[in-house]
Amino acid sequence: MASVTRETERKYEAPAAAEETGGPDAAASGALLDALTRTEGVARVTGRGVEELDATYFDTDDGRLAAARTTLRRRTGGHDAGWHLKLPVPTDGDARDELHAPLADTLPADLARLLRSRTRDAPLGPVLRLRTTRRRHTLHGADGTLLAEAATDTVRAERLDGAPGGLAGATTAWREIEIELAEGAPASLLDRIEERLTAAGIHRSKDRSKFARALTDTGPPPETWPAPDPAPAPGTAGAEVLAHLARWHRALVALDTDVRRDLPDSVHQLRVATRRLRGAFKTYRKVLDRAVTDPVGEELKWLAGELA
């Protein structure tokens, strides 16, 4: 059975010192460490050595996981080798739920079932390989309590499969810093750390994950795969209706995973999403193709009944 943790982290561009010296040591021992030790509430910063991580990331040919901000990887090396599934947390842009399963040759069944609403019948395959040299530091309070972990990463990425918009064999490399809160640490600590980092010339990364950055750097961003169908002109009834339906479709997909994880109130919220979609199908029947929406409405009715 997979274990679950709430991962709350921010990513930053590595300082120029790392680029000049060609490695992460300078960043960790210079501006970064100085900023961390000067952060209010941090009494001690402890080095945890260097790890060599090797991760293969998986997705469908048309990038369904990337489009849903979902990450699936199999990683060897480091203190948490295994299968990792990361799911976005809608209420917190810095947080993701990370499900971890032991290392195995194939995707564990309990993780595969959580991806069904996102992948449907499309098979998963290897998309990227990321090899990371990671220097870890832990941040502690005056009483020794673990507050956060800082990782300085040198990343080398290779596209594996030539998914739409990308080239198999395309490579990219970069350096970055991750700051991840420990369980129970106050969220305000991230803001205090960021103030110190910004003052030291270390700025927030524009990329939300290594997976997203590697995909973008080795081909057009995943939001462009596959080529979208022609959309109604902005401001038209069709555009407004499709935006409304898209909102509740995204909710339905995310809530399917929540229900399978037995999260509080997830069944109720999933039933709400089904009602919203069915109601929209009826209200906007003059705009929508009923040959398409009527069968979907019946499926949603069945789903709501199964959840009752």
The tens digit of pLDDT for each residue in 108-141 reads: 999 999 999 999 989 999 999 999 999 999 999 9
pLDDT reported for residue 18: 46
pLDDT reported for residue 305: 87
Q: For the residues of the chain, what is the DSSP string, one character each?
A: --EEEEEEEEEEEPPHHHHHHTSSHHHHHTHHHHHHHTSTT--EEEEEEEEEEEEEEEE-TT-HHHHTT-EEEEEESSTT-EEEEEEE-TT-TTEEEEEEE---SS--HHHHGGGHHHHTTPPPEEEEEEEEEEEEEEEE-TT--EEEEEEEEEEEEEE-S--TT--TT-EEEEEEEEEEEPTT--THHHHHHHHHHHHTT--B-S-S-HHHHHHHHTSS-GGG-SPPPPPPPTTSHHHHHHHHHHHHHHHHHHHHHHHHTT-TTHHHHHHHHHHHHHHHHHHTTTTS-HHHHHHHHHHHHHHHHHH-
pLDDT reported for residue 124: 94
- Mean predicted confidence (pLDDT) in 24-53: 84
Residues 78-97 pLDDT 10s: 888 999 999 988 877 789 99
- Band (27; pLDDT cuts 50, 70, 90): very low
Residues 168-196 pLDDT 10s: 788 999 999 999 999 999 999 999 999 99
Work out the mean pLDDT of the chain and round it to a whole number.
88
- Mean predicted confidence (pLDDT) in 10-26: 61
**223 pLDDT above the threshold of 90:** no
pLDDT reported for residue 2: 76
pLDDT reported for residue 24: 45
pLDDT reported for residue 75: 97
pLDDT reported for residue 117: 93
